[in-house]
Amino acid sequence: MAASRANPARRDPPWIAGGLIGIALLYLAVVLLLPLFTVFFEALRRGVEPFLEGIAEPDAIAAMQLTLLVAAIAVPLNAVFGIAAAWAVTKFEFWGKSALITLIDLPFSISPVISGLVYVLLYGAHGWFGPALDALGIKVIFTVTGIVLATTLVTLPFVARELTPLMQSQGSDEEAAAATLGAGPWRTFFLVTLPNIKWALMYGVLLCTARAMGEFGAVAVVSGHIRGKTATMPLHVEILYNEYSFVAAFAVASLLALFALVTLAVKTFLEAQFADELAAQRTR
Amino acid sequence: MPGFWPALGFTLVYLSFFLFLPLAALALRPWEAGLDHVWGVISHPRTVAALKLSFGAAFVAACINAVFGTIVAWVLVRYEFPGRRLLDAFVDLPFALPTAVAGISLAAIYAPNGIIGSLFAPFDIQIAFTPFGVMIALIFVGFPFVVRSIQPVLEDLEVEVEEAAATLGATRLRTILTVVAPAITPALIAGFSLAFARAVGEYGSVIFIAGNLPNVSEIAPLLIVIRLEEFDYAGAAAVGLVMLMVSLLILLVLNVVQTRVASRGRA
Amino acid sequence: MSLAISDISKSYGRFPALKTVSLFAEDGEFLALLGPSGSGKTTLLRVIAGLETADAGSVQFRDENLLAKPVRERGIGFVFQHYALFRHMTAAQNIAFGMRSKPRRERAPEAQIKAKVEELLALVQLDGLGKRYPSQLSGGQRQRVALARALAIEPKILLLDEPFGALDAKVRRELRRWLRDLHERTGLTTIFVTHDQEEALELADRVALLKDGALEQVGTPEELYHEPASAFVFDFLGDSIKMPCTIEGGIAIIAGAGVPIVGNRVLENGLATAFARPDAFTITTGDAPGIAARVRNVLLAGPDARIDCGLEGGGALEVRLDHEQAAKLSPRDKITLLPRTVRVWPAS
């Protein structure tokens, strides 16, 4: 089985090839597959009924709805931002451009907990704007608003970083041609630019959605963990786990894991179909 | 080309609201309780222990992933075996699986009665609820970075270069060490940096398996949460600021090293 | 005999790349493998070097069975079309790579390696450029580094795979002459692959022409050019014009006119195809036996004048004349074309 692909100059001794494949398989099995398997195993440990109870419980349903709501707000926001930012940095030259590109990627280097913390510092009870907003009757921290803010910050770079390298390599010739043919900016965008970037956009949106639905640290800081109110699915998992309701915790977790598998399948499909159109950087 | 001001304007306003303003708060709020308080929080043994654990475990985890990630990338690119494409797809699992899900699952596996934990329990070795557990979680979340950084470089490496080395009489090992390794080193450093950056700030997958014992298995992000729960905003912000500054500094250094290595042989 | 390639076959899946190819090279011979893309010439070269495994056949160097050895033990110098230099090593380090790859007991002392590198740099006329990285060298210079690197292992045979394929026309011509000189100095048995007939005819002692994985003809450049074994060889080695004809008593009848046949082809009476070079035509104005045509354009730029002719029966062809004769022609003249001699192969 350890056939090196064809070329004699690249052929490794069979024991090395076999050994390396063995190490890689073992590592992948222990590090990746075992945790995945365990989620489903623990969820179904006591049979199907407790599993179904875990996911049908009103608080679990509320958590699912909240998770979807948060993603439905944060993802489109970041998609529009990603397009605007990629447009600005790829079609134009301006002072501070490379600094801007670095800043857009910055949230990847910030701990999720810090991403939550900063909003508490701004809008919490002792935050810069907290008391003022409170006087107006607006609450941010421990509400859905806070969860949306934190999620948006954590997932901010996903779409932009997929679009930027692609639009960089595509250049502006087609848009310029459209403009010489008399097309207005919106027409040019929808008929020329968007079709060229649609798969990369979808790819970015997919990764952004996966992260938005699964985000834990940032959301944990701003949500207040109010069951059935401000607990997203990952937070609901934590609450159940801390109450020692393991089966229910793993049941909800298995739904998230299932969603992760779907994400991987769609991701793999997009990569196989549109390899050229997706940006080379697939590391996030 | 139309749309410069609208696009840049929107980008800057958006970043101001979601990134600049929040980071300004992080940078400024620690000082409002006075320098002494900031220093008190940062130099507190518990904070020092937490920071050491977060950075240390992230470093070790990134090193382990650098070694095994390179092997996995090599195997996926160079060898043909059944299930290769499926495994390739699974490499990204840590990107897709919510960290809390990974956290409770790892805790179940490595707990003394878990499938792997029980293997070590008879020897009095405990993994979950120790710094070891922290490392296990960080290995999981950082795993894809090295693989995905190296893979495209290995794929694009010209066959001819290795063929040339072989016709010149080099053994396979010498070819790999002197021809292939220098080509993938910049990507390896890049992947290492990403894995490290991700692991330093990781929270969700760690807190379930760590046990969270102050001074022993308590990570820095958790300490931030604890300070916040005590309404010590300045203290929480101070720890956050230190974490961010140190990790940005380390990333900067790694970035410089990577650029240096990559520029060898380029005019 | 220095190198004997016997009955080599190789296929990729169901596609046969080489069909029982046999070829021999004398000591110090300069051999060209010529052919269109997909003819198997590069595959053959790679089989000799050990970069591909043959399905059947043998490659013998003196008394040694080369196919039994792995690539790195064959001691064959290989130069790649795209240089394949190690980009993170300087030119000198590239050249020294093979010498430093030897097992410790066979390896020359470092001082000796350094001296050899300098010597090779001088041989390929790159003195003083040893510290440059490949990215700091021009295409022609890189290919010379690659050649020096291959020569450094003191190979038994030197193989070059389209060595000038990636270079522009002027550099190519310079390097061609230079390679010929180098070969004369080193006296190394050399095989090079090219799809450029001019390059093969100019450089090689002998040319092996491949088509669809089989040898079409092997011989000196003169033999191939003057005694082509097939229509394919004639066509591949220069511009050619193809005409239908009838054979009658050893003469080709083209458009009612008889044309003498050259070459030793014995053909039976009947339909056949005649081939001629564009410069082998006689043009007559007015009525004469031959192919009736009209001048469409006279192109006077270049060493030969080119006459673009529209045939009365449909179609067009371009013939070459000297400038003196061409000056007498002008567009729309009615002319008759006839090759002075033709080569004839069975109608395809």
* HEC secondary structure over chain B: CCCHHHHHHHHHHHHHHHHHHHHHHHHHHHHHHCHHHHHHHHHCHHHHHHHHHHHHHHHHHHHHHHHHHHHHHHHHHHEECCCHHHHHHHCCHHHHCCHHHHHHHHHHHHCCCCCCHHHHHHHCCCCCCCHHHHHHHHHHHHHHHHHHHHHHHHHHCCHHHHHHHHHCCCCHHHHHHHHHHHHHHHHHHHHHHHHHHHHHHCCHHHHHHHCCCCCCCCCHHHHHHHHHHCCCHHHHHHHHHHHHHHHHHHHHHHHHHHHHHHHCCCC
Q: Residue C69: pLDDT above 80?
A: yes
Q: Which of B205 and C263 is assigned the larger pLDDT?
A: B205
Quick one: which of A145, A111, A157 has its CA closest to A283?
A157
Range B21-43 average pLDDT: 91
ipTM (interface predicted TM): 0.92
Residues B178-197 have pLDDT tens digits of 999 999 999 999 999 999 99
Report the distance separating Cα A253 and Cα B247, nearest Å: 31
pLDDT at C188: 92
pLDDT at A63: 94
Residue B183 contacts C, CB cutoff 8 Å: yes
User: Highest-confidence range of A114-118, A128-132, C260-264, C292-296, by mean pLDDT?
Assistant: A114-118
Interface test with A, best of B77, B90, B104 (most A CBs within 10 A): B104
Are C3-235 and C239-346 in the same CATH fold? no
**Cα pseudo-dihedral A255, A259, A265, A269, rounded to 10:** 160
Please report, for residues A85, A219, A228, the alpha-carbon distance to residue A237 in angstroms, rounded to integers and kept in the order given: 35, 13, 12
Q: For C261, which DSSP code?
A: B
- The full set of domain ranges for chain C reads 3-235, 239-346
- The full set of domain ranges for chain A reads 45-278
Report the distance separating Cα A110 and Cα A259, nearest Å: 25
Q: Does an H or E element contain C335, and which?
A: strand C334-339
Q: Residue A243: pLDDT above 90?
A: yes
The answer to whether A38 contacts B100, with C-beta atoms less than 8 Å apart, is no
Distance of CA B167 to the CA centre of its chain: 40
Reduce the secondary structure of C265-326 to three states and give it as a string: CCCCCEEEEEEECCCCEEEEECCCCCEEEEEEEEECCCCCEEEEEEECCCCEEEEEECHHHH
Residues A38-95 have pLDDT tens digits of 999 999 999 899 999 989 999 999 999 999 999 999 999 999 999 999 999 998 999 9
CB pairs under 8 A between A and C: 10
**Domains present along chain B, CATH in parentheses:** 1-33 (no CATH), 34-266 (1.10.3720.10)
Q: Residue B78: pLDDT above 70?
A: yes
The CATH H-level superfamily of A45-278 is MetI-like (1.10.3720.10)
Estimate the crossing angle of helix B45-78 against helix A14-28, to 10 degrees: 130
The answer to whether A92 contacts B1, with C-beta atoms less than 8 Å apart, is yes
Report the distance separating Cα C203 and Cα C313, nearest Å: 42
pLDDT at A1: 33
Report the distance separating Cα A181 and Cα A187, nearest Å: 11
Nearest CA in chain B to C96: B168
The answer to whether the predicted template modeling score (pTM) of the entire model surpasses 0.80 is yes
User: Highest-confidence range of A128-132, A177-181, B98-102, by mean pLDDT?
Assistant: B98-102
Residues C83-125 have pLDDT tens digits of 999 989 999 999 999 999 999 898 999 999 999 999 999 999 9
The answer to whether A9 contacts C52, with C-beta atoms less than 8 Å apart, is no
Is the domain spanning C239-346 CATH 3.30.470.10? The answer is no
Q: How confident is the model at residue A2 (pLDDT cuts 50, 70, 90)?
A: very low
Indicate the SS3 state at residue A143.
coil
Residues B45-58 have pLDDT tens digits of 999 999 999 999 99
pLDDT at C264: 61
Nearest to B160 among C73, C76, C82 (CB): C82
Report the distance separating Cα C29 and Cα B135, nearest Å: 65
Pairing label, strands C76-79, C157-161:
parallel
pLDDT at A277: 66
Q: How confident is the model at residue C312 (pLDDT cuts 50, 70, 90)?
A: confident
d(CA B169, nearest CA chain C) in Å: 4
% of chain C at pLDDT higher than 90:
57
pLDDT at C249: 84
Report the distance separating Cα C95 and Cα C149, nearest Å: 4
The CATH H-level superfamily of C3-235 is P-loop containing nucleotide triphosphate hydrolases (3.40.50.300)
* Chain C residues within an 8 Å CB radius of A8: 50-53, 70-71
8 A C-beta contact, residue A159 and residue A82: yes
**Residue A44 CB contacts under 8 Å (≥ 6 apart), including other chains:** A51, A254
Report the distance separating Cα A257 and Cα C66, nearest Å: 56
Q: Residue B68: pLDDT above 90?
A: yes
Please report, for residues A42, A81, A106, the alpha-carbon distance to residue A87 in angstroms, rounded to integers and kept in the order given: 46, 10, 19
Reduce the secondary structure of B69-91 to three states and give it as a string: HHHHHHHHHHEECCCHHHHHHHC
Count CB neighbours of C187 within 10 A: 11
The answer to whether B169 contacts C84, with C-beta atoms less than 8 Å apart, is no
